[in-house]
Amino acid sequence: MNILLFMIGCVFTHNIVFDRLLGVGDAGKDRRVEVAAVYGLAVCAVMTLTAVCAWAADSLLLTPMKLDFLRVPAFTLIAILISLLGQVCLGKVKPAWLEQLEGCALPVAANVAVLGVALMNAEAGYSFAYALLNGLCSGAGFLLAVVLMAGVREKLEFSRIPAPFKGMPITLISAGLIALAFIGFKGMA
Amino acid sequence: MKLHLTPAPHVHSPQTTRALMGNVLLALAPCAVAGVVIFGAPALVLMAVSVLSAVAGEACWQRLTGQKVRVNDLSAAVTGLILGMNLSPRAPWWLAVVGGLFAVVLVKGLFGGLGDNFLNPALAARAFLLVSWPRYLTTWAAPLAADAVSGATPLANPSGYTLGQLFLGNIPGSIGEVCKAAVLVGFVILLCTKTITWHIPVSLTLSTLVFCGLLGYNPIAAVLSGGVLFASVFMATDYVTCPMSTKGQLVYGVGAGLLIALIRKFGLYPEGVTFAILLMNVATPLIDRYTKRRVYGYEKEAKA
Amino acid sequence: MDNRFVKGLLRDNPLLCLALGVCPALAVTTYAVNGLALGVITCCVLVCATLVSCLLGKVSSEKGQLALYMMVSAAFAAVADLIVKANFPELSAALGIFVPLTAVSSLVLSRAAFAVDNTPGEAVADVLGMGIGYLCAMTVVGVVRELLAHGSVFGAAILPGGIPSIALPAGGFLVLGVLMGVFKAIVGKKDEEEDAQA
């Protein structure tokens, strides 16, 4: 039951974009819904794998050797390698999707959310299971956020937004209103 | 000539909007009257302040941004009234002002005005007020009527009230929500004037009934507690923020009902309706995308 | 105003105009002092990473360049984290993972290409403008948010109370979004006036 609550928490109550405030810039980028879905899945995959590898690196290498301070560079390197690997794999399996991502594999790694989750796991001292679930569910939450925001953006395409607010300002305000709605999930996990 | 693109429904002539909004105000009247009868003068004051703030706020914003002042389309008045009805009669008047301004400027004005917002303004304002000043919105007043009961709202104390009381509204609660009979009258008025269709209110109410029942609540009491009926008739049906196709509307209603049940059972907030509908508002563009009506005359390509 | 430095402050303000470094701005600006601190830290990491990258020289592929820059900034972010943890424990607790996250701050990474194509002097001048612009913006957002949420500025009580929800993530989004819009409106007007004069 605890695990289920933890998972629900990661996806909804502590949604990585609307509650933990990571990956906001990426979530709000101008994309169609389909592209947003692919991007979200990519980030989710990278986030999960990075979380797992980072956990391994941290528990097996860094912490025993008291090298915690190397976490940041180490996790960054892991994220870079994983997303490069992912880009290569995707290119072989589903090139169409890769095109949609417009070759932005590295920005996927550079996503604040990816590194953030890995660091969160390390600092909270999660076990393997929780680290994996945190990565996976935060990723799912990210996917949800990206798709929802893309949907709202599409609706706003015809809106007569005042000129200074067009673009990022209104995106942030929209995100704020969505975050307000997500407060409804408080208390669930 | 500047061509102005908007998605359907294309209601932009102030005349048509005004007529529509007029119907909504008419439909809201029974609830407003009931609210004043049950809670007295404070209810009237709050509703009045709310309407005034919303209308004034929208007028000022439109002036400020160099647009034509269009408050006579009555949409701001409707937003204000609905917001006012969502408040506890004991809420301070300034809460209504803040809420009204939040609704018309932040949720509606910044996005472009009527038709351009993605969240129902009154609902979003209520959520903001609830999160910012929880105690003002959760302190209730005893009704004035003779056989009134004071104490916790039905949501907090489900077994403390009879179904009859829940239906007529001699209970603590928000101004416009308590008298379900008045809500139903309003629903009928809206249906008869063809302002709304039955799909959303019915699907939302039934869905709430079913899911609350599944989660262990008395289903009828659940539907009659809190703002389910009021919201399903007046807030979830806002054209701008609900799906356009009937299939979409049914999905929307069912989804909202599910969320209401989940939030009431597992979440922090006893009400749930506010956030449930807001979340469905957020999902509406996606729902619309995947439940598009087939355009008349368009035939699906024959599969090779 | 063609001065690169001033541009970084106003027209090209990284936070308020270019929307870089948004996540930290949302998370830590609940108190002005936190906003200021993280702004300073980000600026330092940015300048150091740029300088070192510049000195290390160009790498063949674009991806390789970005990866190298990321590793350099990760190193400096780690150092910054250590320094803050050691000397300012309360600040470290308040800023949390956002100090090490400056490694992948969009602000820092957006300067990767620029770093190598110029001389160290030019590169540093450029990022210094942006870094200080960011730092000022973070402080302003922090001041506004702290005032609205807690009624204080840098800890000094000014108003009797505040709207606590502004300190929540939702409030952060709304305040930042509105400030951005207002800032753009003001800077935009200034630009128009200048263009009219030119």
- Of the pLDDT bands very low, low, confident and very high (cuts 50, 70, 90), residue C116 is low
ipTM of the complex: 0.90
Please give the pLDDT value at position B296.
61
Nearest to A80 among C22, C67, C97 (CB): C67
- Domain locations along chain A: 18-185
Q: C169 vs A70: CB contact, 8 Å cut-off?
A: no
Which residues of C fall within a CB distance of 8 Å from A120?
A: 97
Which of A15, A16, A24, A159 is best to mutate for the C interface (most C CBs within 10 A)? A24
pLDDT digits (tens, 9 = 90+) for B178-207: 888 899 999 999 999 988 899 999 999 999
Nearest to A151 among B259, B267, B286 (CB): B286
B:C CB pairs within 8 Å: 13
- Of the pLDDT bands very low, low, confident and very high (cuts 50, 70, 90), residue B302 is very low
pLDDT digits (tens, 9 = 90+) for C21-72: 888 889 999 999 999 999 999 999 988 888 888 887 776 677 777 788 888 8
Higher pLDDT, B172 or B281: B281
Q: Does A155 touch chain B (CB under 8 A)?
A: yes
Q: Does A158 touch chain B (CB under 8 A)?
A: yes
Mean pLDDT of C163-170: 88
Question: Which amino acid type is present at position B228?
Answer: V
pLDDT digits (tens, 9 = 90+) for B128-184: 999 999 888 887 777 775 454 555 677 777 677 778 778 887 788 888 888 888 999
First vs last C-alpha separation in chain C: 11
Rounded to the nearest angstrom, the minimum Cα separation between A116 and chain B is 26
B44 pLDDT more than 90: yes
pLDDT over 90 for what percent of chain B? Answer: 52
Which residues of A fall within a CB distance of 8 Å from C83?
A: none
- Of the pLDDT bands very low, low, confident and very high (cuts 50, 70, 90), residue A2 is confident
Q: Which residue of C has its CA nearest to B131?
A: C165
Mean pLDDT of A120-136: 92
Q: E strand or H helix at C156, and its extent?
A: strand C156-157
Range of C168's domain? 4-197
Q: B106 vs C163: CB contact, 8 Å cut-off?
A: no
The 3-class secondary structure across chain B, one letter per residue, is CCCCCCCCCCCCCHHHHHHHHHHHHHHHHHHHHHHHHHHCHHHHHHHHHHHHHHHHHHHHHHHHCCCCCCHHHCHHHHHHHHHHHCCCCCCCHHHHHHHHHHHHHHHHHHHCCCCCCCCCHHHHHHHHHHHHCHHHHCCCCCCCCCCCCCCCCCCCCHHHCCHHHHHHCCCCCCCCCCCHHHHHHHHHHHHHCCCCCCHHHHHHHHHHHHHHHHCCCCHHHHHHCCCHHHHHHHHCCCHHHCCCCHHHHHHHHHHHHHHHHHHHHHCCCCCCHHHHHHHHHHHHHHHHHHCCCCCCCCCCCCCC
In CATH terms, is domain B14-290 a member of 1.10.8?
no
β-bridge mates for residue C157, sequence order: C152
First vs last C-alpha separation in chain A: 11
Q: A180 vs B131: CB contact, 8 Å cut-off?
A: yes
Structural domain count, chain C: 1
Task: Return the DSSP state at A61.
Answer: I
Rounded to the nearest angstrom, the minimum Cα separation between B264 and chain A is 10
List the chains bordering chain B where 3 or more Cβ pairs fall under 8 Å. A, C
List the chains bordering chain A where 3 or more Cβ pairs fall under 8 Å. B, C
Q: How far apart are CA C143 and CA B96, in angstroms?
A: 27
A:B CB pairs within 8 Å: 99
